[in-house]
Chain A
């Protein structure tokens, strides 16, 4: 046990603090309010300590580590926090802090309905799991904490267990995440076979001795395993149903940071432990990212459940992060560390930004849902008049995720564009083609994301209420608004201070094994950010000042030059009828044209059920229901055939299970003889 007060001590104490919070919350389970308060306060204090800890590591550049051997030779409880880990600890702690502040009043609506002590327990365990996942330094220990994180999040997904939909979503998540873990386990076992250790440090030191075939196999296994957690297409099927099922502050954490642990491990494995890598690894990741980004946003457009829509946007943004990560791997493989560092900075920056604005959007959506008791965009409308502050904060998040300047989403998407542009400038025609398509996908994704958030904000907050659900809505409690306001402020600050952020992230990149300290920081200060010998430069403070100042100048100039004219408030003329909410555009209608344009990919289906007054005559319909859906091509063409194959193979094995004891004794006897024969043969 390290001495109290040293930095190594904190590595251990922060997860322990969350676990303590979990236990206390569980003990108070009979008192809803006390359990909520205890769980929340432990999470808040632990997260605050986590932020301080991560910042001090990032600032000082030290490495905190602690290792406790267990009675198993291949398992040691070891943590190691370098800059990359500290960066992820920072993101996790920051979002945990704000989500927990938000949760204190938010959880109240579960009082008396569900077990609050259990919620506090799972919530704190989940946080502890995430923190330990990004700090673990031993493969087996990593798998244990990975499992803790996955199981805790599974229980959070099915927390509102009265809804059968949530149980189903939880089961899909449970199966998918464990399939992913199986792939990860195989990857670690393969590494163990060639390096003789589960310790990341040992594997890293003997990484050069790993034969290429094993290395490539480990790459594919890890990509599937961690890609499943990250929600990359086609392993995303669990994500859009699991994230919305959890309570909103947990959805924010799952979408904002939990899926990033998959990204973290891919960075750790490919850029640090197993570096250097062959070029095709990077290209595969870029291609996966391009597909996920584009398809993610297209699925989001066709969704009108607000939380599902946000979950699909997580898939899109993971895709954008993959674009940066894949480019970094590729440039590292061709020995261009400076550009690789820029690409990795883009990926890390977007990881941070996505956590901030997706957290904000999920908390905003949670507020809207708890005020209106529905998740359907078609039943909102006009909420800007009932909850103006929430609307403003949600708008900030929408602008950030749509990559609008001067907010943070813009700068990380700009950096990702620059990463892809440098790939387009390479000599090889094939590589150039891949990067060109990826940049095209990113350009299209940006535009479609903007369209999607015009739809979300427009149908939720603008125009007139579409249903009675809206009429009781009001602003949420102050602490809920405060949590969202801090996140909204962060979207502005992370955009404004792009220069310093990039400098810090370059340092994070330089520490990784693949760069070995050779990563060059792009010349950046508070004022400007220049890339690749002047290929591109940008000054976010100037962009910010021009946009805000310009709008203010226009506003006051128009007022000064022209006297205030008369403003008449008058209803829109609608041919003499009464204006009704049915005249407004719906979320479905808004995105219908885009869906029809991309119908080759989305495969929209339309089913009309009509009930007639007279079934035999079929002239006068009584009711007519049109169901619009997208065909689930992943289930039809990927998972269903896979399951069928597995079932068929299992069928063959069933034949040896006759159910008769005698047969089983025979099997045991035959196996024994077989083993004896092998033993004797080896002896000779």
Chain B
């Protein structure tokens, strides 16, 4: 009788692992926008507004440039699926590996890179001036931020003696207090690189269509209708994916270590609370900080890389 309950819970946890990030992603985006609005003394739209936006876009007609090739039409589907597939590897509410063969952090980083590769190509595909420059800027930032992401997670991987994300979370939970100094260093490196990867301040302004500064928005300027919906949705999944990595790898306390109902319930609540805290952090950064000039960004990204390299040095 205990066995069957366990199986039901495992299947439930498996389904949750796949659909949780896509379902909660627009909400997280909405919450960040709401916090920002409140911090700026505005009323702000409802936290559910991103769901309505995506739903509306899915039902709209599309306009496609005649110069665009199949790369342009195919990219939104690939981008969405790479983001969801990458999300499967992220430990959300438990440190148990729900699916075998997933969870390697390099695979996660490179799977996300595959989506960006195609998005950058799609940006060039329509032959407009904005798209090309957006692609160029995006690939520049992506190339430099990859090192920061890899190295910050590597710090934890070395402490945990495994590159599997779930096992890293389990191991970091048990680390003695002195080892937390490199973890904090690595987290600051991760935070910088993650803001770059998700196109937030001070790297990119997700709310602007100003031609001189936009990066991500410039690439997707030509998209409309359901393809735009997929891309917008994928971007918000990408954001919540990196937030989850941040809270569950560097601060894994409270993750369920076995599949039982009370543990899962507690860890779900804790996880959502941690994500909410992270939303405050991002909204705070975006309210208190100006976007940096493009050629100042590399300094910041190299800082992220060096912070993580120092953390690796401290982690014996």
B58 at the interface (CB under 8 A from A): yes
- Considering the chains assembled together, what is the distance between the CA atoms of A477 and B80 in angstroms? 36
- Considering the chains assembled together, what is the distance between the CA atoms of A21 and B61 in angstroms? 62
Residues of chain A lying within 8 A (CB to CB) of residue B58: 558, 561-562
- Given the contacts A424-B312, A436-B312, A454-B139, A443 and B146 also touching, CB distance less than 8 Å: yes
- Considering the chains assembled together, what is the distance between the CA atoms of A490 and B1 in angstroms? 50
Q: In chain B, what residue has the closest Cβ to A551?
A: B81
Contact pattern, B 120-149, Cβ under 8 Å of A = 1, otherwise 0: 110011111101110111011011111100
The reply to whether A538 and B128 form a contact with Cβ atoms under 8 Å apart is: no
Residues of chain A lying within 8 A (CB to CB) of residue B286: none
A417 at the interface (CB under 8 A from B): yes
> Which A285-309 residues have C-beta < 8 A from chain B?
none
A421 at the interface (CB under 8 A from B): yes
- Considering the chains assembled together, what is the distance between the CA atoms of A444 and B113 in angstroms? 13
The reply to whether A443 and B151 form a contact with Cβ atoms under 8 Å apart is: yes
A220 at the interface (CB under 8 A from B): no
- Considering the chains assembled together, what is the distance between the CA atoms of A427 and B158 in angstroms? 12
Residues of chain B lying within 8 A (CB to CB) of residue A567: 61-64, 225
- Considering the chains assembled together, what is the distance between the CA atoms of A455 and B59 in angstroms? 34
- Considering the chains assembled together, what is the distance between the CA atoms of A237 and B77 in angstroms? 43
Whole-angstrom distance between the Cβ of B141 and the nearest chain A Cβ: 9
With beta carbons under 8 angstroms apart, the residue of B117, B127, B312 that contacts A462 is B127
Q: In chain A, what residue has the closest Cβ to B163?
A: A536
- Given the contacts A421-B154, A539-B101, A562-B58, A547 and B114 also touching, CB distance less than 8 Å: yes
A70 at the interface (CB under 8 A from B): no
- Considering the chains assembled together, what is the distance between the CA atoms of A149 and B150 in angstroms? 41
- Given the contacts A454-B124, A567-B64, A405 and B143 also touching, CB distance less than 8 Å: no
Interface residues on B, range: 35 or more
A136-144, A271-279, A587-595: which lies at the interface = A587-595
Contact pattern, B 78-90, Cβ under 8 Å of A = 1, otherwise 0: 1011101100100
Residues of chain A lying within 8 A (CB to CB) of residue B78: 551
Residues of chain B lying within 8 A (CB to CB) of residue A454: 117, 120-121, 124, 135, 139
Q: In chain A, what residue has the closest Cβ to B71?
A: A462
B107 at the interface (CB under 8 A from A): yes
Residues of chain B lying within 8 A (CB to CB) of residue A585: 124, 129, 131-133, 135-136
The reply to whether B162 and A462 form a contact with Cβ atoms under 8 Å apart is: no
Whole-angstrom distance between the Cβ of B61 and the nearest chain A Cβ: 4
B261 at the interface (CB under 8 A from A): no
Interface size on A, residues (CB 8 A): 83
A25-33, A224-232, A396-404, A510-518: which lies at the interface = A396-404
B69 at the interface (CB under 8 A from A): yes
Main secondary structure of the interface of A (DSSP, over half): helix
- Considering the chains assembled together, what is the distance between the CA atoms of A596 and B62 in angstroms? 38
Instruction: Output the residue of B70, B85, B124, B157 with the most chain A CB within 10 A.
Output: B124
The reply to whether B85 and A565 form a contact with Cβ atoms under 8 Å apart is: no
Residues of chain A lying within 8 A (CB to CB) of residue B222: 572
Residues of chain A lying within 8 A (CB to CB) of residue B146: 443-444, 446-447
A120 at the interface (CB under 8 A from B): no
> Which A429-448 residues have C-beta < 8 A from chain B?
429, 432-433, 436, 439-440, 443-444, 446-448
Q: In chain B, what residue has the closest Cβ to A555?
A: B77
- Given the contacts A414-B106, A458-B121, A536 and B295 also touching, CB distance less than 8 Å: no
> Which A340-362 residues have C-beta < 8 A from chain B?
none
Residues of chain B lying within 8 A (CB to CB) of residue A589: 132-133, 136
Residues of chain B lying within 8 A (CB to CB) of residue A443: 146-147, 150-151
Residues of chain B lying within 8 A (CB to CB) of residue A451: 139-140, 142-143
> Which B72-100 residues have C-beta < 8 A from chain A?
77-78, 80-82, 84-85, 88, 100
- Given the contacts A417-B106, A462-B124, A462-B127, A450 and B295 also touching, CB distance less than 8 Å: no
Whole-angstrom distance between the Cβ of A547 and the nearest chain B Cβ: 6
The reply to whether B143 and A543 form a contact with Cβ atoms under 8 Å apart is: no
- Considering the chains assembled together, what is the distance between the CA atoms of A399 and B117 in angstroms? 9
The reply to whether A537 and B61 form a contact with Cβ atoms under 8 Å apart is: no
With beta carbons under 8 angstroms apart, the residue of B82, B124, B312, B316 that contacts A547 is B82
- Given the contacts A450-B117, A462-B69, A562-B226, A550 and B127 also touching, CB distance less than 8 Å: no
With beta carbons under 8 angstroms apart, the residue of A385, A403, A579, A590 that contacts B135 is A590
- Given the contacts A447-B142, A463-B124, A566-B62, A405 and B114 also touching, CB distance less than 8 Å: yes
The reply to whether A583 and B150 form a contact with Cβ atoms under 8 Å apart is: no
- Considering the chains assembled together, what is the distance between the CA atoms of A443 and B150 in angstroms? 7
A534 at the interface (CB under 8 A from B): yes
Contact pattern, A 380-402, Cβ under 8 Å of B = 1, otherwise 0: 01101100000000010001001
The reply to whether B162 and A534 form a contact with Cβ atoms under 8 Å apart is: yes
- Considering the chains assembled together, what is the distance between the CA atoms of A417 and B295 in angstroms? 29
10 extra interface residue pairs, beta carbon distance < 8 Å, beyond A558-B226, A570-B66: A384-B71, A404-B110, A414-B107, A566-B61, A568-B62, A572-B222, A584-B124, A590-B135, A590-B136, A597-B298
Ranked nearest first, the 6 interchain pairs of A and B with the lowest CB-CB distance are A585-B132, A447-B143, A463-B127, A550-B81, A458-B124, A539-B101
- Residues of chain B at the chain A interface (Cβ within 8 Å): 58-67, 69-71, 77-78, 80-82, 84-85, 88, 100-102, 104, 106-107, 110-111, 113-114, 116-117, 120-121, 124-129, 131-133, 135-137, 139-140, 142-147, 150-151, 154, 157-158, 161-164, 222, 225-226, 230, 294-295, 298, 305, 309, 312-313, 316
Question: What are 13 A-B interface contacts by the 8 Å CB criterion?
Answer: A414-B107, A436-B312, A446-B146, A450-B139, A454-B139, A528-B101, A551-B78, A551-B81, A562-B226, A566-B61, A569-B66, A574-B128, A593-B294
